[in-house]
Structure 1
């Protein structure tokens, strides 16, 4: 599982659950998932879209299993 920023730069990578796990379990059991739930993932602060006063927060994109 990987997390990339808006410039397609990798900011976190979690490699390899062993065996077969659903995508939801991969996220839940990963260090990134743990940190996301605890609020300690270390994401950069939200900011404004360029040239606007519109706040851009973060989105995670995954399939329906996530």
Structure 2
């Protein structure tokens, strides 16, 4: 899954994780892009992805 994400060149960062989730990926999308459609069309279509969780962030401190 991580390699497929990297091949699509849509994630700015990809991490393998331990615990409840296997992969964490960070995406930057342009203003006006529907994040639901972005994830459905670009992420959830990758074979072997069983589920996704989306966290929207607003500002870094």
TM-score range, shorter chain: 0.3 to 0.5
Specify the structure having the higher radius of gyration (Cα): 1
Q: Which has the higher contact order (CA 8 A, sep 6+)?
A: 2
TM-score (structure 2 length as normaliser): 0.33
After TM superposition, the score normalised by the length of structure 1 is 0.32
